[in-house]
Structure 1
Amino acid sequence: MPPRKIIIDTDPGQDDAVAILLALASPAEIEVLGITAVAGNVPLELTARNARIVCELAGRPDIPVHAGCDRPLARPLVTAEHVHGRSGLDGPDLPDPTMPLQDTHAVDFIIDTLRAEPEGSVTLCPLGPLTNVATALARAPDIAPRIAEIVLMGGAYFEVGNITPTAEFNIYVDPEAAAQVFAAGVPITVMPLDVTHKALVTRPRNDAFRTLGTAVGHAVAEMTDFFERFDREKYGSLGAPLHDPCVTAYLVAPDIFTGRHINVEIETMSDLTLGMTVADWWRVTERAPNATFMGDLDADRFFALLTERLGRLPLTESVA
């Protein structure tokens, strides 16, 4: 099978960074056509910067990075420096990027790429708020049938919320964008908190990253060292959940995950439940299924895959 062509839409974020690294370390399964930055965990200027830092860390300065929307469709931007630090990539001491930011806006890059590539050959991988993807679909409705699949991190059902009692951060930041994407008729696979909170970086797992003895291994270990302090305090967990790498791990080894094809609606009106993913897990309504919501993963296999792939970076065949 040829590698799966993807566009990563992201707001790095330490876990976003690990997701990008996993994708770039898996060229047999994944071809990264480009990375589009969106405002989310930190403002757009920093997410675009962080995406380039990660590409250079992986030895892939050839990957085009495009800056996109700097605010949600209809609301003020909510950020998460309290989790990710002021830079979004607090933890490791990484140099400023030298690779250029592309001139083309992220939304235009998404539209142009989907129109240029064969129909059904490109998967979109949103790791942050869905503003760029929703804007592209609204501006160019003809791209919807050209998308192979949208595999995203966001939402929850039993776990419910991590930024409000009922909402997961990515969906909460731009619920109107999420509602548009889930209504677009595109095949969607979702990695919700219910799955990602099972992908915990315990101390032995983080030690395995550090033991790789590479710049990437040390950087990832330092990212998760920083990242986990918030989750340990908030949840009393054994480590930090690696939310976004579940997206790229699914593209490499989908059998690690299990889930259900169900109906998912996005709450955009209620003050109490704004941004909630109303997931009909038990199929108690007659609403048509529109997304595959993952419910579980094999955490040991997930971390074995992640550690092995991170150990490959930088790839010897990478473009300098």
Structure 2
Amino acid sequence: MKLIIDTDPGVDDTLAIALAVAIPEVELLGLTAIFGNTFVKQSSRNARYLLDFLGYDCPVAEGAALPYGASDYTPSANVHGDEGLGALTTVPEIGKNIDETAAAFLVRMPAKNAGELVVCAIGPLTNIADALALDPAFATNVKSLVIMGGAYAVPGNITPHAEANIYHDAAAADVVFATKMPIVMVGLDATMQTLLTPEDFEAMAVTSPKVGGFVRDISNFYLGFYRSVGVFDGCPMHDSTALLACLFPERFTFEKSGIKVALSGDDIGDTVADASRPEVDVAVGIDAKWAVEYAMAQVATLD
């Protein structure tokens, strides 16, 4: 499967990128960077650093720095750390971004691989909305857009109503859900079922000292955040769950629904069922035991 990951690395993004490199069926054609867990320049730097660390060569294209209509943005340092990778205080600049915007790259690659390329968007959806604005044919050239975002029948994680990726650019997300592109929404309904425990991270480090050890080390910060908000059993594989939906939809339970994003008020960022919108596949369940075991097994192949 040909794949582009639109990402804001990010502790859970790191595991998703590692899985994409590890899974034999995936041909990772590039990473597009977006603001979110970090400022966008940190996102693209982290993406290049992780690709080098994983020994994988593909382009990184830097995208939007701000949400639609915003003049500034503050990342989620309390969740992912000041540099996005847990307690790490310095991340080296390795390599360079390609001389092409994320939106232009997202338009060009599906056009070159029409009907074959899946885009997995695991940050705010601004780059995706920008690609649609640049060339509406993007919507029909992609095989599918798999989104980590939204809270369909469960509470949000950044407000009582909203999931963080959608909340951080609700206007862009609403543009994306209004299109007729094939969309799979993998939100908190599914991702909160896939908890990785501290013991799981320790087991990763044993089977994969380099990559699994790194994931364990940066995840200690992330586990601490979840404990601070009352989740004591572990931390969810948000982004990795979306990646798994690209490859193994049979492991998920889906409902079809149109989605509208609330754009104002206390419920801004809420993903609401709307029969007037084009239907998307909304993940409402997952074989969580399989997902965790599969992710750990794949990480073990990387060292």
TM-score range, shorter chain: over 0.9
- Does the CA-based 8 Å contact 1:92-1:222 persist in structure 2? no
- Cα distance in 2 for partners of 1:252, 1:66 equals 24
Moved more, 98-107 or 145-154: 98-107
Report Cα offsets for 1:98-144 as digits up to 9, x if no partner.
23221211111111112222x21111110000000100101111221
Q: 1:252 to 1:92 in 2, by over 3 A?
A: farther
The partner residue of 1:31 within 27, 34, 38 is: 27
- Cα distance in 2 for partners of 1:127, 1:133 equals 11
- Does the CA-based 8 Å contact 1:44-1:69 persist in structure 2? yes
The answer as to 2:298 corresponding to 1:309 is yes
Matches within 5 A, 1:131-142: 131-142=126-137
Corresponding residue number in structure 1 for 2:286: 297
Matches within 5 A, 1:90-169: 90-91=86-87, 96-117=92-113, 119-169=114-164
- Cα distance in 1 for partners of 2:190, 2:90 equals 30
Moved more, 205-214 or 66-75: 205-214
- Cα distance in 2 for partners of 1:288, 1:43 equals 32
- Cα distance in 2 for partners of 1:78, 1:193 equals 22
- Residue 263 of structure 1 aligns to a residue in which SS? strand
Q: 1:289 to 1:116 in 2, by over 3 A?
A: closer
- Cα distance in 1 for partners of 2:247, 2:93 equals 28
- Cα distance in 2 for partners of 1:295, 1:94 equals 38
Corresponding residue number in structure 1 for 2:18: 21
Report Cα offsets for 1:275-309 as digits up to 9, x if no partner.
110136xxxxx435521111111222111111111
Please report how far the alpha carbon of residue 249 of structure 1 lies from its aligned counterpart in structure 2 after TM superposition: 1.6
- Does the CA-based 8 Å contact 2:29-2:59 persist in structure 1? yes
The answer as to 2:45 corresponding to 1:49 is yes
The answer as to 2:243 corresponding to 1:248 is yes
- Does the CA-based 8 Å contact 2:118-2:246 persist in structure 1? no
Corresponding residue number in structure 2 for 1:317: none
- Residue 120 of structure 2 aligns to a residue in which SS? strand
The number of equivalent residue pairs is 302
Report Cα offsets for 1:221-242 as digits up to 9, x if no partner.
1122210111112033311111
Q: 1:203 to 1:129 in 2, by over 3 A?
A: same
TM-score, length-normalised on structure 2?
Answer: 0.95
Letter in structure 1 aligned against 2:16: A
Letter in structure 2 aligned against 1:31: E
Corresponding residue number in structure 2 for 1:318: none
Matches within 5 A, 1:80-99: 80-91=76-87, 96-99=92-95
- Residue 143 of structure 2 aligns to a residue in which SS? strand
- Does the CA-based 8 Å contact 2:177-2:277 persist in structure 1? no
Please report how far the alpha carbon of residue 93 of structure 1 lies from its aligned counterpart in structure 2 after TM superposition: 7.8
The partner residue of 1:209 within 204, 212, 230 is: 204
- Cα distance in 2 for partners of 1:311, 1:112 equals 34
- Does the CA-based 8 Å contact 1:160-1:276 persist in structure 2? no
The partner residue of 1:77 within 73, 80, 88 is: 73
Please report how far the alpha carbon of residue 95 of structure 1 lies from its aligned counterpart in structure 2 after TM superposition: 5.4
- Does the CA-based 8 Å contact 2:180-2:278 persist in structure 1? no
Letter in structure 2 aligned against 1:279: A
- Cα distance in 2 for partners of 1:137, 1:9 equals 14
Letter in structure 2 aligned against 1:48: S
- Does the CA-based 8 Å contact 2:179-2:278 persist in structure 1? no
Percent identical across equivalent pairs? 36
Report Cα offsets for 1:122-173 as digits up to 9, x if no partner.
1111000000010010111122111110001001023221111211110011
- Cα distance in 1 for partners of 2:88, 2:213 equals 8
- Does the CA-based 8 Å contact 1:40-1:128 persist in structure 2? yes
Letter in structure 2 aligned against 1:245: S
- Does the CA-based 8 Å contact 2:5-2:119 persist in structure 1? yes
**Which sections of structure 2, spanning at least 5 residues, go unmatched?**
none
- Cα distance in 2 for partners of 1:231, 1:158 equals 21
Corresponding residue number in structure 1 for 2:8: 11
Give the superposed CA RMSD. Answer: 1.7
